[in-house]
């Protein structure tokens, strides 16, 4: 039975927020954004009405290396920092006419609760890539109080020291995301004794520091706090599921979007800056449904598969029109498209195109597109705080327009791939003969065929029975196989009922029919019995791997190392050709290339031996 008091309490909050929305409708400096957010809030209010109030909160962990003490005044400063960041989010919602929305912080007697963790190692043993190790240490130290696989956690590090020359040096992990944002999350940020919202107006005093991205920076304390407080707000946004988002085509007049490059402009108006960070429509629309904002656990953990029921692409006068419908096991309330050039080093500059659903349908008009290849990411936002994403490539056709056939092909493949990994009842329909025959491009037909083959994979051949001059090792039996995450997989990416990233092997944008999944540490062994001369492959991390992840690829013959790659990060790949003449036992291994192994989706693409 629903607890009456807590249920009524949450409903009154939702009702109160809705009444405020009515009074502020179309107000503020962004009427169109206000209409979007207010319509979304109405749908969220209906979905969460009557639910007991959630007790989930953002938990703050303060990590101190074994040979250091917490930085000066850390408790008071962190309290001010989290209140200031939460105030930024709250003001961001308020700009759209949505009152009373902010993150639920863990507090006791009105003060921020800070979980202190003393690291097992000295400061010199930790660096920017130590997030996996420090999270494990924190989870062990806080067992029974903080659950790294159930809670939303912000880890702040006392990994900053002052050199004799007065320069501060940061060696802390600084990133967030990579886990289901509505279920649990973790993000990392750095502390400094001079990090304090009270110092944002400071224009006379300065700081000199060294960190992961910058060997030497000289700034006023005001600008430094804009960067590092903005960094906490930005990485926390990632931890809560927000992608990079530089705002819509017209939002630039408000400043710089927090989830774009606004982390360097956080509250810069305090020290006289003219382009302060703001909360974009797309970011606000997505965060509005997060459980830490709604205060409800309804639907938490429910998966949302095959969310785009239909998608139709068309181009007119340089504008890309997307007409579609979105559903899922939990209803969708909005969609957001993000576009950024493929030539860009990152997606920080992604332009967003948000829309709220009307009876499950939406229309997007992507204006201002550049005449160059771009990435297109289409995300459905669901009432329980979950999201589902489809990724496409915008390329020009022979006439200089957008290649609509390629977009349609990607959609058909993505739909089929999602059906395969989720074991949807519609999977056979999506990889049927008619669909494959009508595929708009040859590559999409190959991918659809590979997905169909993954449903009933052929038994591997015995290597000793092969009479041809060459063979893919992913098509023959191995003597042993192990991987660091999941299970060994041939000719497809590994997935199961919980981990459902992909079924296809894609490396550097190129699809490979053949390959081995090899999350480090991994090992595949083959009895080649001295009958083969050359081993070739292309190695790297599958597209979509975590940016901080890396892997080293190793080939051994009869225990002797024949090849070792440099640590390869996301986006890097390497072709190799190794002489295996006389080798009887061939091993393909991977090792982690750094401190962070999360998302190290290593693959051996086209692993082939020739006589």
Task: Dihedral sign for Cα 415, 420, 425, 428, please.
Answer: positive
Task: Say what the pLDDT of residue 26 is.
Answer: 38
pLDDT band at 595 (very low <50, low <70, confident <90, very high): low
pLDDT at 48 over 50: yes
If residue 453 lies in a helix (H) or strand (E), which one and from where to where?
helix 442-455
pLDDT at 228 over 60: yes
pLDDT band at 600 (very low <50, low <70, confident <90, very high): confident
Among 183-197, 460-474, 591-605, the range scoring the smallest mean pLDDT is 591-605
Distance CA 293, CA 303 (A): 19
CATH code assigned to 463-610: 2.60.120.1060
Task: Say what the pLDDT of residue 370 is.
Answer: 84
Task: Say what the pLDDT of residue 307 is.
Answer: 79
- For the chain, the domains span 54-294, 308-402, 463-610
pLDDT band at 240 (very low <50, low <70, confident <90, very high): very high
Relative to beta strand 114-118, strand 58-64 is parallel
Report the 10 Å Cβ neighbour count for 77.
21
Distance CA 205, CA 224 (A): 11
Task: Dihedral sign for Cα 592, 593, 598, 600, please.
Answer: negative
Among 25-34, 346-355, 439-448, the range scoring the smallest mean pLDDT is 25-34
Q: What is the DSSP letter of 439?
A: -
Query: At which residue do the structure tokens 């960190």 appear?
Result: 211
Q: How many CA atoms lie within 13 A of 11 on its CB side?
A: 12
Distances (CA, A) of 126 to 136, 232, 249: 13, 19, 41
For the residues 125-134, what does the mean pLDDT come to? 94
Relative to beta strand 256-257, strand 277-278 is parallel
pLDDT at 570 over 90: no
Q: How many CA atoms lie within 13 A of 540 on its CB side?
A: 22
pLDDT band at 142 (very low <50, low <70, confident <90, very high): very high
Phi (first) and psi of residue 237, to 5 degrees: -60, -45
pLDDT at 51 over 70: yes
For the residues 125-148, what does the mean pLDDT come to? 95
* DSSP output for 208-235: EEE-SS-S-EEEEHHHHHHHHHHHHHHH
* DSSP output for 47-65: HHTTPPPP---EEEEEEE-
Average pLDDT of the chain?
Answer: 91
* Whether domain 54-294 has CATH 4.10.640: no
Beta bridge partners of 351: 339
pLDDT at 46 over 50: yes
pLDDT in tens, 369-428: 988 999 999 999 999 999 988 889 899 888 888 999 999 998 999 889 988 988 888 899
pLDDT at 598 over 90: no
Task: Say what the pLDDT of residue 11 is.
Answer: 31
Phi (first) and psi of residue 434, to 5 degrees: -65, -40
Phi (first) and psi of residue 499, to 5 degrees: -100, 105
pTM assigned to the model: 0.77
Task: Select from 3.40.50.720, 1.10.260.40, 2.60.40.10, 3.20.20.70 the CATH code of 308-402.
Answer: 2.60.40.10
pLDDT at 525 over 90: yes
Length of the chain: 611
Query: At which residue do the structure tokens 């590559």 appear?
Result: 443
Among 8-22, 82-96, 589-603, the range scoring the smallest mean pLDDT is 8-22
Tell which residue, 591, 598, 566, has the closest CA to residue 134. Answer: 598
Residue 2, token pair as written in the block:
């629903």
pLDDT in tens, 288-340: 999 999 999 999 888 787 678 889 999 998 899 999 999 888 999 999 999 99
Tell which residue, 151, 51, 7, has the closest CA to residue 384. Answer: 51
Where helices occur in 25-130 by DSSP H, the ranges are: 31-48, 74-94
Burial classification of residue 55, based on how many CB atoms lie within 10 Å of its CB (0-12 exposed, 13-18 middle, 19 or more buried): exposed
Task: Say what the pLDDT of residue 328 is.
Answer: 80
Distance CA 157, CA 195 (A): 12
Distance CA 136, CA 379 (A): 31
pLDDT at 248 over 80: yes
pLDDT at 2 over 70: no
Distance CA 483, CA 588 (A): 11
Task: Say what the pLDDT of residue 180 is.
Answer: 60
């Amino acid at each position: 039975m629903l607890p009456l008091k807590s249920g009524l309490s949450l409903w009154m909050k939702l009702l109160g927020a809705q009444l405020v929305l009515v009074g502020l409708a179309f107000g503020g400096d962004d009427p169109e954004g206000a209409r979007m957010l207010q319509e979304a809030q109405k749908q969220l209010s209906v979905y969460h009405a009557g639910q007991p109030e959630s007790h989930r909160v953002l938990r703050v962990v303060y990590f101190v290396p074994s040979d250091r003490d917490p930085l000066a005044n850390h408790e008071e400063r962190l309290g001010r920092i989290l209140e200031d960041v939460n105030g930024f989010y709250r003001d961001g919602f308020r700009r759209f006419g949505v009152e009373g929305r902010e993150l639920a912080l863990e507090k006791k007697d009105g003060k921020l609760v800070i979980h202190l963790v003393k690291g097992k190692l000295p400061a010199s043993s930790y660096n920017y890539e130590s997030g996996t190790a420090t999270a494990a240490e924190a989870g062990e130290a806080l067992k029974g109080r903080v659950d790294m696989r159930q809670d939303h956690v912000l880890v702040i590090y006392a990994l900053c020291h002052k050199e004799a020359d007065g320069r501060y040096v940061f060696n802390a992990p600084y990133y967030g995301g990579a886990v289901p944002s509505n279920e649990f999350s973790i993000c990392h940020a750095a502390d400094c004794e001079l990090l304090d919202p009270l110092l944002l107006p400071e224009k006379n005093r300065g700081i000199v520091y060294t960190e992961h991205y910058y060997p030497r920076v000289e700034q006023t304390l005001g600008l430094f706090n804009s960067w590092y407080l903005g960094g906490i707000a930005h990485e926390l946004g990632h931890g809560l599921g927000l992608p990079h988002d530089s705002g819509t085509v017209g939002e630039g007049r408000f400043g710089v979007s927090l989830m774009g490059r606004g982390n360097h402009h956080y509250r810069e108006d305090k020290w006289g800056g003219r382009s302060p960070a703001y909360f974009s429509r797309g970011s606000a629309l997505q965060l509005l449904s997060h459980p830490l904002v709604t205060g409800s656990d309804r639907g938490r953990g429910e998966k949302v598969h095959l969310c785009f029921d239909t998608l139709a692409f068309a181009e007119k006068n340089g504008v890309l029109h997307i007409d579609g419908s979105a559903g899922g096991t939990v209803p969708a309330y909005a969609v957001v498209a993000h576009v950024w050039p493929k030539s860009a080093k990152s997606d920080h500059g992604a332009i967003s195109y948000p829309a709220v659903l009307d009876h499950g349908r939406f229309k997007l008009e992507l204006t201002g597109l550049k005449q160059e290849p771009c990435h297109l990411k289409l995300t459905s936002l669901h009432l329980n705080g979950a999201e589902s994403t489809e990724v496409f490539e915008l390329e020009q056709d022979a006439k200089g327009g957008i290649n609509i056939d390629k977009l349609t092909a990607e959609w058909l493949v993505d739909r089929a791939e999602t059906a395969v990994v989720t074991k949807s009842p519609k999977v056979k329909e999506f990889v049927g003969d008619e669909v494959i025959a009508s595929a708009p491009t040859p590559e999409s037909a190959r991918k659809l065929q590979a997905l169909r083959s993954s449903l009933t994979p052929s038994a591997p051949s015995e290597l000793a029975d092969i009479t041809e001059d060459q063979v893919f090792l992913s098509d023959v039996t191995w003597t042993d196989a192990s991987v660091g995450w999941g299970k060994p997989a041939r000719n497809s990416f590994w997935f199961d009922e919980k981990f459902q990233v992909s079924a296809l092997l894609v490396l550097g944008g190129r699809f490979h029919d053949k390959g081995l999944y090899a999350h480090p540490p991994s090992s595949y062994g083959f009895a080649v019995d001295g009958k083969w001369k050359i081993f070739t492959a292309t190695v790297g991390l599958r597209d979509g791997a975590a940016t901080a992840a890396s892997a080293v690829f190793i080939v051994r013959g009869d225990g002797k190392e024949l090849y070792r790659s440099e640590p390869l990060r996301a986006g890097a790949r390497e072709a190799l050709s190794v002489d295996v003449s006389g080798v009887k036992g061939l091993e393909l291994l991977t090792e982690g290339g750094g401190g962070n192994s999360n998302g190290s989706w290593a693959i051996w693409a086209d692993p082939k031996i020739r006589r």
